[in-house]
Structure 1
Amino acid sequence: MTTINACLFDLDGVLVDTAKYHFIAWKQLAEELGFTFTEEDNERLKGVSRMASLDILLEIGGVKLDEETKLELASKKNAWYVDYISKMDDSEILPGALEFVKELKSQGIKVALGSASKNAMLILNNTGLTPYFDAIIDGTKTQSAKPDPEVFLLGAQELGLTPAECVVFEDAEAGVEAAIRAGMRSVGIGSTTTLGRANLVVPSLADFSFNRLKEL
């Protein structure tokens, strides 16, 4: 088995808890459109791009809109979301995440971000995580959303490594699928019910350490 030389992290739900802000903003939009959007509905949006998320939301509400209106609504939701995350600080880094990233750096393992978020830099800067990354691939650098492997392949490329040397940490089914398509090993953060295709599944990064990479 190829030696692991890099760890690539999704952002939302893996390193920081921004998922709650996405949910609040989508729920606000649904209410404005006259229907209810639940936390269960929100599970369908994990790891999905903004416009695809809006399509799912409208399908749930049975609402049909033209493309121009949809773009306006996506911008409105994003403005609400950005307002929420602008107030974030390092207290919103998920348990064990910073400790694990520091441990990787001390062991000479490269660290990269692989996120669909176009607001990743704002979040990383507000939480103080930016300096820990050797490469940052976010929604401003990619054309295709997960499960397309583009974001992770670009990360490996920027690190100068092969996909086989990389491990992906993901909390979404689409992200685990993207890692598989990229030819990378993966650790699911969450439940085996949805992340069963990952090589290993743990409840959070607080349950993971450098030594456990050997299990992959």
Structure 2
Amino acid sequence: MSTVITARAALLDMDGTLVDSTAVVERLWLEWAEPHGLDRDTVLSTVHGRQGWQSMSILLPERDHAINLVENQEMLARESADTDGVVAIAGADRLLRALQGFPHAIVTSADVALMTARMGAAALTVPELAVTAERVTNSKPHPEGFLLAASTLGIDPAGCVVFEDSGAGIRAGLDAGMKVIGVGPHAPAFGPAHHVDDLTQIAIAPAGDGFEIRIS
């Protein structure tokens, strides 16, 4: 049985939602963590969905924030240069094509350079509106990025649907007052309203003053 929800705008996370970058993200973050003697599972449960400086502040709470900001820029540069193994999530290209003509945006914790590198490596087209790290003060799980995207598109948050995979991202979408579709095997644990294994389970069709999303 399929589920149908309606929306006026779609807000899409990138890593883990449109693009599978898990291998490179985990490789580079574990390299960063090694000199600090941090536990592998703690690192991997922290870094997904957040901006790097926030992950660093959680993992090293006593460290000077200025160091985190510097190392975050270094991490972003390394991530942008390393796209080995980065591929599209199944169904991502079809979903992006289906959303053309409807309000939609990427809302990502990556900066513009990293977003461009990963979307390019996955052969995906970047939507006209992209809310990246440079455009917000607060990282997910704060809802600022999603609220900014909705405001820029001129759509009430209640009319937006969020596609997200991480706990931080799903919390941000829920706190923004939006419908959230969790993507991937780990998403159900974070309480999205709906869940898909990948984006091949999503179909888009016009409906009223917006569109309907059919989840199969």
Alignment of 1:65-144 (within 5 A): 65-85=63-83, 92-105=87-100, 108-118=101-111, 119-130=114-125, 133-144=127-138
Match of 1:57 in 2: 59
1:194 matched residue in structure 2? 189
For the Cα contact (< 8 Å) 2:167–2:187, is it kept in 1? no
Gaps of 5+ in 1: none
Cα RMSD between the aligned structures?
2.6
Residue 20 (structure 1) aligned to one of 13, 19, 23 = 23
- Structure 1 length-normalised TM: 0.80
Q: Which residue in the other structure is 2:7 paired with?
A: 4
Against the structure 1 CA distance between its residues 66 and 155, is the aligned structure 2 distance closer, same or farther, given a 3 Å change threshold? closer
Give the 3 Å change call, closer, same or farther, for CA 66–95 of structure 1 in structure 2.
Answer: same
> How far apart, in 1, do the equivalents of 2:187 and 2:81 lie?
33
TM-aligned CA deviation for residue 93 of structure 1: 1.0
Structure 1's 53 and 129: CA in aligned 2 closer, same or farther, altered over 3 A? same
- Tell me if structure 2 keeps the 8 A contact 1:47–1:175: yes
CA distance in structure 1 between the partners assigned to 2:130 and 2:103 by the alignment: 11
Amino acid at match of 1:181: D
CA distance in 2, matches of 1:124, 1:192: 21
Contact 2:105 2:131 in 1 (8 A): yes
- 1:34 and 1:43 map into 2 onto residues whose CA distance is 16
Matched-pair contact (CA < 8 Å) for 2:6–2:213: no
159, 162, 169: which one aligns with 1:165: 159
Give secondary structure in 1 for the equivalent of 2:37.
Answer: coil
Matches within 5 A, 1:177-216: 177-190=171-184, 191=186, 193-196=188-191, 198-210=192-204, 213=213
Cα pair distance change 1:55/1:159, threshold 3 Å: same
**In structure 1, C-alpha distance between the alignment counterparts of 2:31 and 2:52, rounded to whole Å:** 15
Is the contact between residue 108 and residue 131 of structure 2 (CA under 8 Å) also seen in structure 1? yes
Q: Which one scores higher on RCO, CA 8 angstroms, separation ≥ 6?
A: 2
Partner-residue secondary structure (3-state), 1:13 = coil
Higher strand share: 2
CA deviation digits over 1:23-60, x for unaligned, max 9?
111111122x152552563022221221121133336x
Structure 1 residue 142, shift from structure 2 partner: 1.0
Q: Which has the larger share of helix?
A: 1
Separation (CA, whole Å) in 2 of partners of 1:185 and 1:193:
14
Distance 1:40 1:205 in 2: 28
**Structure 1 residues 75 and 136: CA distance shift in structure 2, 3 A:** closer
The one-letter code sitting in structure 2 at the alignment partner of 1:73 is: E
1:36–1:164 Cα change, 3 Å? closer
| Closer, same or farther: CA 173–69 of 1 in aligned 2, 3 Å | closer
Give the gaps of 5 or more residues in structure 2: 206-211
Task: Compute the displacement of 1:72 (Å).
Answer: 4.0
SS at match of 1:210: strand
Paired residues, number: 202
Cα 1:163/1:193, change in 2 over 3 Å: closer
Check if 1:175 corresponds to 2:165: no
